[in-house]
Chains A and B, each alone.
Chain A
Amino acid sequence: GQNIDQPTEMTATEGAIVQINCTYQTSGFNGLFWYQQHAGEAPTFLSYNVLDGLEEKGRFSSFLSRSKGYSYLLLKELQMKDSASYLCAVRALSNDYKLSFGAGTTVTVRA
């Protein structure tokens, strides 16, 4: 089975930096995804990591360590619109058609 853990909630101040950690235990690994989901809306794709290291995309960066079963999503220069749930998801096998999601981390940005 797949086990994906991430913190339930985080709070940060506008303009600050927040790091959302995700640990996973899966039968095989072929990619880790981060999605953002605002309340009542669809999850939207943020990042994809399949090799170790850091992927940077504007204010958002995602890091992966396959040997540690660990990823983080870094949100810089936080804005009020970044208040949302952030979902970590793993694709286990190269021909696996499904993503296994964590429960999500709700980030609240305060003024």
Chain B
Amino acid sequence: DAGVTQSPTHLIKTRGQHVTLRCSPISGHKSVSWYQQVLGQGPQFIFQYYEKEERGRGNFPDRFSARQFPNYSSELNVNALLLGDSALYLCASSLGAGEAGANVLTFGAGSRLTVL
């Protein structure tokens, strides 16, 4: 079975540009979350979507937006890129959306964004 897949794996942008990152969850998973991981730090929560609705947003500016499609895949968009947006962007899928129990997040390998 395919795990969580993300594209592209690596990309380089310049300041002010826009980027779209894509994620396909594990089959049967209805929840997708996005995390930003800066080198040397743990992942930071950006968004969660469940059944195509936004369920949560982390402490990120409005330049960051996301959506989930009917097939449960998701896109993360970042506008007006800054140097500080350089990071590994991780997508994670789970069966549910935070109910009691483990509800384990399964992560994709990430999209490494470099902003020059």
The answer to the question of B26 belonging to the interface, with a C-beta cut-off of 8 Å to chain A, is no
Query: What distance in Å separates the Cβ of A78 from its nearest Cβ neighbour in chain B?
Result: 22
Q: Tell me how many residues of A have a C-beta within 8 Å of chain B.
A: 27
Mostly, the B contact residues are loop
**Contact of B107 (CB < 8 Å), options: A44, A48, A95:** A44
Residues of B within 8 Å of A43, CB to CB, are 43, 90, 107
Give Cα A33 to B35, complex, Å: 16
**Contact of A42 (CB < 8 Å), options: B41, B42, B104, B107:** B107
Q: Tell me how many residues of B have a C-beta within 8 Å of chain A.
A: 29
Contacts A45-B104, A45-B106, A87-B43 supplied; 17 other A-B pairs, CB < 8 Å = A30-B100, A33-B104, A42-B108, A42-B110, A43-B43, A94-B99, A94-B100, A97-B33, A97-B50, A97-B55, A97-B97, A98-B33, A98-B45, A98-B56, A98-B58, A98-B98, A101-B43
Shortest Cβ distance from B110 into A: residue: A42
Residues of B within 8 Å of A103, CB to CB, are 40-42
